[in-house]
């Protein structure tokens, strides 16, 4: 199949040379920035260098209308060939580079595109392919690459987990002392050459060796205490080969992404970091080196270690989430080095306050000198939506408050121009008016909501009965067997189902026809679960486009985009709502649908809700008040919904908190405060239900072991939690003696892979769980929701899951 090495294709046609004249200041908005950006001069296809120092850490790869997603899924389904996928990918890369060049960016990144994930790309570059995929040598192709990402009929995928505190997922490298590294993917060099052929000189970006190793895990069979940093001497020779190839291709710069430096690294780790870059110094000769950090400020010791490196030309810091970054710089910055100042937020969609950012840049000028400051994004723009120009349905006022990736590129260059003395007064005036409009708009603030939030802080909102007693009361009502089976919520979202929702939204079908169509889908899902013998059912969420958007559309204070997609993993994209104002629930959101579904069966039917912390963490959140204030507002809205479901006769209610771990601050000193308010927000939602109402929650694809006590403190009756893709890592917590009295369902199979596990394999997993968990509290369920799978896969996998539960049940009875 296709190679990761990139084929040459014709670039996209150039944008028209003539641009519309600039609109008057009153009509300026970030949505117009790209359209009105002055084009960069070109001569014979090659871009001329401008004096303004501007830089982008990285850029979204999915395309403005998810072109990469559709190309990937078509390729995976066998509908298109590798060449077709490569052509779509090359066109996307070319358009991204041209956009940045046209906007006037000086330091343009390459190798930030990926067919699946940048950490997986690094694994491919290093030839660190786990042996189960059968790869021996040569350039890694799509077959091995996508098998590592997604699994195949024979072997499971590699573990997937969250990239720091974002909703992006990376593929976790599996390493050990016997891994033989080799230069097995030339993607970084090929992309640099591809951009160079367009006349665009780029900065190739690599995941730094420290970040790569410290985000890896010991492979299966390798002792968990294995020191991953012991492999540093084995991977550096591969990095050196990449440097040599880049220099031969004409590269003048290289960027190492080392976000691991914002974490709490110990002295040995910092020394290993310093040694690694010192060791690479001679190989980097002839290249300007940028080390980019992001997502927080760098701790003082790490800052000292980083800025003492002699081989580095420039240092990149986050001035948005790095609240202490400016103070660090004031404390000392190496003479003659460049400071890449991340003043434009790469993780949110709010228009930059240009005047405030300019003041920050001027403060830096006083410390390091004007010619040493490079204006940059706080992190890769991967974490924000692609282009505001495609949002034709957002109202003018709200749109004036926003900037997506394409607009942020122009913001960076506008700041760089202004910083160099060429200030666009009209643009700054328009930006200032947008900032003032947002501060004063009556749609942002609701005094009653703020009073309600102030009141909830006076109680800890715990249910009055202990969980062990509640479970006994619930069992009398539910009468469930040992090892009860359930699923997480969603069932496959078919093309017909998505078409029905689109037609309803476009008012092409009536309310009655829509309800009838959804009812038919409910009946199909419920009948399937009953035939399979599942104990606690779900309605499949046919009425929902997304687990956050569905609720946000029914809450005040939220706005929604048409094309504001952000990559979560692989081809999976999400469209985060925008929380711009105080949140209330005007009316019930799910009671009609849950009541309809419960009437179709005698089995318990879960009411399905998304929890306040997950709604918060999976949205673009307002930045004009503390996040916990917004979270408590959402919690009160969900509390009203929980109580209405209970009144409607729903006895099992699941409040998903899939993203609770995701929001955990990167530094230990800040984590306790976050966990306190996040757990409190969850408890608010269900503190007043009856003991007979069983409250479930669900968490997925993060490392939960270090917050297990906070999970217990949530006081849910049952928690279902990802477990299988991470090699039962969760179970080690209970092996270490943590006592968990509530119901718990560690996932028994990975839903993000098309692979269908056998009943025997699932039974083996259940027995592993029973070695550390009481059968009275253990539930049997998949890792996550089933919306991304096909019905043929779901039916087979759930059939095997139920058969495994019955098999183990019978063994328990015998014993």
The two tokens of residue 187 are 């993607």
Angle at Cα 285 formed by Cα 279 and Cα 289, nearest 5°?
85
**154 touches 758 (CB < 8 A):** no
Going 37 to 43 to 44 to 46, the CA torsion angle's sign is negative
d(CA 165, CA 112): 19
Q: What angle do CA 162, 166, 169 make, to 5 degrees?
A: 35
Provide the β-strand partners of residue 491: none
Instruction: Name the residue with tokens 């434009």.
Output: 344
The per-residue DSSP string of 59-99 comes to ---S-TT-HHHHHHHHHHTTSS-HHHHHHHHHHHHHHHHHH
Distance, in Å, from the CA atom of 311 to the CA atom of 323, rounded to the nearest integer, reads: 27
- Give 154: exposed, middle or buried? Use CB within 10 Å, 0-12, 13-18, 19+: exposed
Length of the chain: 815
DSSP 23: P
Tokens of 158: 């590699």
* Residue in the structure block whose two tokens are 């960069």: 40
CB 97 within 8 A of CB 48: no
Coil/strand/helix, residue 191: helix
Sign of the torsion formed by the C-alpha atoms of 215, 220, 225 and 226: negative
What's phi and psi for 607, nearest 5 deg?
A: -80, 130
Q: Count CB neighbours of 730 within 10 A.
A: 22
H runs (alpha helix) in 621-667: 627-647
Say what angle helices 354-368 and 405-419 make with each other, to 10 degrees: 50
| Contact between residue 156 and residue 106 where contact means Cβ atoms under 8 Å apart | no
From 186, 461, 698, 752, the catalytic residue: 752
Measured between alpha carbons, how far is 5 from 86 in angstroms, rounded to an integer?
9
Regarding beta strands 694-699 and 652-656, do their DSSP bridges make them parallel or antiparallel, or are they unpaired?
parallel
Helix (H) / strand (E) containing 344: strand 338-344
Partner residues linked to 720 by β-bridges: 698, 745
Q: Which residue, among 319, 365, 315, 322, has the nearest Cα to 342 in the 3D structure? A: 319
Sole residue written with tokens 């199909």 = 524
Three-state secondary structure along 535-595? CEECCECCCCCCCCHHHHCCCCCEECCCCCCEEEECCEEECCCEECCCCCCCCCCCHHHHH
Question: Could you tell me the CA-to-CA distances from 83 to 1, 61, 68 in Å, in that order?
Answer: 10, 18, 13
Q: In whole angstroms, give the CA distance from residue 534 to residue 478.
A: 14
State the CB neighbour count (10 A cutoff) for residue 802: 20
Q: Is 752 a catalytic residue?
A: yes
Contact in structure between 544 and 375 (CB atoms under 8 Å): no
In eight-state DSSP terms, residue 164 is T
Under a CB-based contact definition with an 8 Å cutoff, are residues 217 and 173 in contact? yes
CA 698 to chain centre: 17
Alpha carbon distances (Å) from 310 to 7, 224, 271, 448: 37, 35, 15, 57
Taking the C-alpha atoms of residue 697 and residue 693, their distance in angstroms, rounded to an integer, is: 13
Cα 109 to the center of its chain, rounded Å: 21
Both structure tokens of 252: 């003048």
Where in the sequence numbering do the catalytic residues fall? Answer: 752
């Amino acid at each position: 199949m296709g190679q990761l090495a990139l084929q040459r294709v014709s670039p996209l046609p150039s944008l028209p040379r003539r641009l519309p004249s600039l609109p008057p200041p009153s009509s300026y908005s970030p949505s117009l920035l790209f359209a009105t950006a002055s084009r960069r001069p070109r001569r014979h296809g090659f871009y001329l260098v401008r004096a303004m120092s501007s830089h982008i850490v990285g850029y979204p790869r999915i395309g403005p209308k998810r072109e990469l997603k559709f190309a990937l899924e078509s390729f995976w389904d066998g509908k298109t060939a590798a060449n077709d996928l490569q052509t779509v990918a090359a066109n996307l890369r070319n358009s991204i580079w041209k956009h940045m060049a046209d906007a006037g960016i000086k330091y343009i990144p390459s190798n930030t595109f990926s067919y699946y994930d940048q950490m997986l790309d690094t694994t491919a570059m290093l030839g660190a392919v786990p042996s189960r995929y059968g790869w021996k040598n040569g350039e890694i192709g799509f077959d091995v690459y996508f098998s590592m990402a997604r699994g195949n009929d024979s072997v499971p995928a590699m573990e997937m987990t969250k990239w720091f505190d974002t909703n992006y997922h990376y593929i976790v490298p599996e390493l050990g002392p016997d891994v033989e590294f080799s230069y097995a993917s030339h993607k970084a060099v090929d992309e640099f050459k591809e951009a160079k052929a367009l006349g665009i000189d780029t900065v190739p970006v690599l995941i730094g060796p420290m970040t790569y190793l410290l985000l890896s895990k010991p492979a299966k069979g390798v002792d968990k205490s294995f020191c991953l940093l012991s492999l540093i001497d084995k991977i550096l020779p591969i990095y050196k080969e990449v440097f040599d190839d880049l220099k031969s291709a004409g590269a003048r710069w290289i960027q190492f992404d080392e976000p691991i430096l914002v974490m709490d690294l110990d002295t040995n780790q910092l020394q290993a970091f310093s040694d690694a870059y010192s060791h690479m110094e001679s190989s980097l000769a002839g290249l300007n080196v940028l080390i980019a950090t992001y997502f927080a400020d760098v701790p003082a010791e790490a800052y000292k270690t980083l800025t003492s490196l002699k081989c580095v030309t420039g240092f990149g810091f986050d001035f948005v989430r790095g609240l202490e970054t400016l103070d660090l710089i004031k404390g000392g910055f190496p003479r003659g080095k460049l400071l890449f100042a991340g003043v434009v937020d790469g993780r949110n969609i709010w228009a930059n306050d240009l005047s405030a950012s300019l003041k920050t840049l001027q403060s830096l000028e006083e410390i390091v000198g004007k010619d040493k400051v490079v204006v940059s994004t706080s992190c890769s723009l991967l974490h924000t939506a692609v282009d505001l120009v495609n949002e034709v349905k957002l109202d003018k006022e709200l749109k004036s408050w926003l900037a997506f990736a394409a607009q942020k590129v122009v913001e960076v260059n506008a700041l760089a121009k202004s910083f160099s003395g060429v200030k666009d007064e009209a643009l700054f005036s328009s930006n200032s008016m947008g900032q003032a409009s947002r501060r004063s708009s009556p749609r942002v603030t609701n005094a009653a909501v703020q009073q309600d939030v102030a009141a909830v802080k006076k109680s800890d909102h715990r249910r009055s009965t202990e969980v062990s007693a509640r479970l006994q009361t619930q069992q009398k009502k539910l009468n469930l067997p040992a090892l009860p089976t359930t699923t997480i919520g969603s069932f496959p979202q078919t093309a017909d189902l998505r078409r029905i929702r689109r037609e309803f939204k476009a008012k092409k079908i009536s309310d009655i026809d829509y309800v009838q169509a959804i009812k038919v889908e409910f009946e199909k899902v419920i009948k399937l679960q009953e035939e399979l013998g599942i104990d606690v059912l779900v309605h499949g969420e046919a009425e929902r486009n997304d687990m956050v958007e569905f609720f946000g559309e029914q809450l005040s204070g939220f706005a929604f985009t048409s094309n504001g997609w952000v990559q979560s993993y692989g081809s999976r994209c999400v469209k985060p709502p925008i929380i711009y104002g105080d949140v209330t629930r005007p009316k019930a959101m799910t009671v009609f649908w849950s009541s309809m579904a419960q009437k179709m069966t005698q089995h318990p039917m879960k009411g399905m809700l998304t929890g306040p912390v997950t709604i918060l963490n999976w949205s673009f959140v307002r930045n004009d008040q503390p996040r916990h204030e917004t979270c408590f507002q959402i919690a009160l809205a969900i509390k009203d919904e929980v109580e209405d479901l209970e009144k409607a006769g729903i006895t099992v209610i699941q409040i998903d908190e899939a993203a609770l771990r995701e929001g955990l601050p990167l530094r230990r000193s800040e984590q306790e405060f976050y966990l306190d308010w996040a757990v409190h927000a969850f408890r608010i939602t269900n503190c007043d239900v009856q003991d007979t109402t069983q409250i479930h929650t669900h968490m997925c694809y993060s490392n939960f072991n270090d917050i297990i006590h906070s999970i217990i403190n949530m006081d849910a009756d049952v928690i279902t939690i990802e477990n299988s893709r991470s090699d039962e890592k969760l179970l080690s917590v209970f092996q270490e003696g943590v006592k968990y009295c509530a119901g718990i369902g560690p996932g028994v199979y990975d839903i993000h892979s098309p692979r269908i596990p056998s009943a025997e394999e699932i039974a083996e997993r259940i027995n592993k769980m029973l070695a550390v968990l009481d059968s009275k509290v253990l539930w049997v369920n998949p890792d996550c929701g089933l919306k991304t799978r096909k019905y043929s896969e779901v039916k087979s996998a759930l059939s095997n899951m139920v058969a495994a539960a019955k098999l183990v049940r019978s063994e328990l009875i015998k014993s």
